[in-house]
């Protein structure tokens, strides 16, 4: 078993300490540590965080390996500081059976850059008509705990209620893509002043908010857990805040791009800014940041959505929706939340590791940086600032909205159960 000594790291942004990794476990945390024969990593005041956990990643395999594979996606995750990701079900075939989720789980185990926890579909084929094999997926080797039709909404209230009732038996959670389909037919961007000026079909905030309102009421009625994917509007924040005040078991996520970008960018007609849900207004961005800071929004999730160049390098109406995000997420959170004083690094550890691991029941992840815990760790050079270069991405796709934009922070090292997957910014 290997031994690694991380010297002088600011654990969760606190005072510099040493962290000794022995095999797969953190052996000791303190000052002035030493270990004969250990590999020494001079942290030099970098921030040490628990390995990040992404509750919302699209790995595309099986079926769209031209966009991403489990291998390339988990390499991108390691480069971004992640040690576990939850892989969404909208693959080809859809991950709506035990066989498909086990395939994704085994691919993750084979490649070893991070743990892959498959998300099971709520309905067969994501069609919203019949519940998928929720129990079989949970009982499979993959041990599925999160179910989502992400990419489409479980719009039938009866189906949604049945799903919530079913997963309650094994403490699962339904993660809802909140989008009332009748209100978003032909929608191309956020409904508002910019859409009116550009003549693009508007995507109203109420299409998201109406589904969230319905589903938190259903979750409260059933006594089950519901999670809101990629929450994007100020109104949605208020609904979730109300539901939590009533004791309803609701959690919510925000993406990095919804914390930073607004619908004003659509004026460029650059399809890299086309995403679902759409970029919203400055008012929404401000509300999302405040809600993440006060805990109304529980976590940051990337919604990493890779696409091949031909699906994005085309006219706006024909372009696919989505952005890659695993390799830039922590930098965007530093820019929007830490450097603005809204969160400290302990808060980042909660929103990007502790809380997503807890929601997804990711055993061994989202644990304190202390002796006896699994050595799933991320070291971040928070003093770095530089332009985003997608040519350097580990992801197979390059559809980032940040190309050329200067962002702070750089992940230098990632450890998965004591094994370095990223060293000095380079994948092992």
Counting every residue, how long is the chain? 428
Nearest to 271 by CA among 326, 308, 225, 220: 308
Express the helix, strand and coil content of the chain in percent, nearest 5 each.
Answer: 35, 25, 40
What fold is seen in the domain 51-360? TIM Barrel (3.20.20)
Question: What does the pLDDT read at residue 77?
Answer: 98
| Topology agreement, domain 3-47+373-427 and domain 51-360 | no
Q: CB atoms < 10 A from the CB of 41, how many? A: 23
Q: Give the chain's count of helices (H) and strands (E).
A: 13, 19
pLDDT tens-digit map of 17-72: 999 999 999 999 999 999 889 999 999 999 999 999 999 999 999 999 999 999 99
* DSSP code per residue over 366-419: S--SSTTSB--EEEEEEEEEEEB-GGG-SSS----TTBT-EEEEEEEEEEETTE
Nearest to 376 by CA among 143, 141, 112: 112
Looking at the DSSP assignment, which residues form a beta bridge with residue 147?
120, 174
* DSSP code per residue over 320-369: PP-B--TTTHHHHHIIIIITTTS--HHHHHIIIIIHHHHHHT-TTSS--S
Question: What does the pLDDT read at residue 112?
Answer: 83
Report yes or no on whether pTM surpasses 0.95. yes
**Half-sphere exposure (Cβ direction) of 379: Cα atoms closer than 13 Å:** 30
DSSP-derived 3-state class of residue 265 = helix
For tokens 């390339």, what's the residue?
72
What fold is seen in the domain 3-47+373-427? Urease, subunit C; domain 1 (2.30.40)
- Pairwise CA distance, residues 137 & 330, whole Å: 31
Question: What does the pLDDT read at residue 265?
Answer: 98
* Cis, bond preceding 144 (omega within 30 deg of 0): no
Residue numbers annotated as active site? 303
Q: What's the DSSP call for residue 244?
A: H
pLDDT tens-digit map of 267-279: 999 999 999 999 9
Counting as low any pLDDT under 70, the low residues of the chain are none
Sign of CA dihedral 396, 402, 403, 404: negative
For tokens 């539901």, what's the residue?
243
Domain spans of the chain? 3-47+373-427, 51-360
DSSP-derived 3-state class of residue 104 = helix
């Amino acid at each position: 078993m290997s031994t690694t000594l991380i010297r002088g790291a600011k654990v969760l942004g606190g005072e510099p300490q040493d962290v000794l990794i022995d095999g797969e476990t953190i052996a000791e945390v303190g000052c002035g540590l030493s270990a004969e024969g250990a590999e020494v990593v001079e942290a030099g005041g970098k921030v040490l965080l628990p390995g990040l956990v992404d509750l919302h990643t699209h790995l595309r395999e099986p079926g769209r390996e031209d966009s991403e594979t489990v291998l390339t996606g988990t390499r991108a995750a390691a480069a971004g500081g992640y040690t576990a990701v939850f892989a969404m079900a909208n693959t080809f075939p859809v991950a709506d059976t035990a066989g498909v989720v086990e395939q994704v789980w085994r691919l993750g185990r084979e490649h070893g850059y991070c743990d892959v926890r498959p998300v099971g579909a709520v309905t067969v084929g994501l069609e919203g008509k019949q519940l998928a094999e929720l129990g079989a997926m949970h009982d499979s080797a993959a041990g599925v705990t999160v179910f989502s039709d992400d990419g489409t909404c479980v719009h039938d209230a009866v189906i949604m209620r049945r799903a919530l009732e079913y997963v309650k038996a094994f403490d699962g959670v339904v993660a809802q893509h909140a989008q009332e389909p009748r209100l978003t037919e032909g929608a191309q961007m956020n409904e508002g002043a910019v859409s009116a000026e550009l003549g693009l079909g508007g995507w109203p905030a109420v299409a998201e908010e109406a589904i969230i309102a319905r589903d938190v009421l259903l979750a409260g009625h059933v006594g089950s857990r519901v999670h809101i994917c990629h929450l994007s509007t100020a109104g949605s924040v208020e609904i979730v805040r109300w539901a939590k005040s009533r004791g309803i078991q609701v959690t919510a996520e925000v993406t990095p791009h919804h914390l930073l970008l607004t619908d004003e960018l659509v004026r460029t007609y650059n399809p890299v800014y086309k995403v679902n849900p759409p970029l919203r207004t400055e008012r929404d961005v401000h509300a999302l940041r405040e809600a993440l800071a006060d805990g109304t929004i529980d976590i940051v999730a990337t919604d990493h959505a890779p696409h091949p160049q031909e699906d994005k390098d085309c006219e706006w109406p024909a372009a696919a929706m989505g952005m890659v995000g695993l390799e830039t997420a922590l930098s965007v959170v530093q820019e929007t939340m830490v450097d603005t004083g809204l969160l400290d690094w302990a808060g980042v550890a909660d929103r990007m590791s502790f809380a997503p691991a807890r929601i997804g029941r990711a055993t061994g992840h989202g644990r304190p940086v202390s002796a006896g815990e699994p050595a799933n760790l991320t070291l971040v050079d928070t003093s770095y600032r530089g332009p985003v270069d997608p040519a350097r991405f580990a992801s197979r796709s390059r559809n980032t909205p940040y190309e050329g934009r200067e962002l702070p922070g750089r992940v230098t090292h990632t450890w998965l159960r004591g094994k370095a997957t990223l060293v000095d910014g380079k994948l092992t």
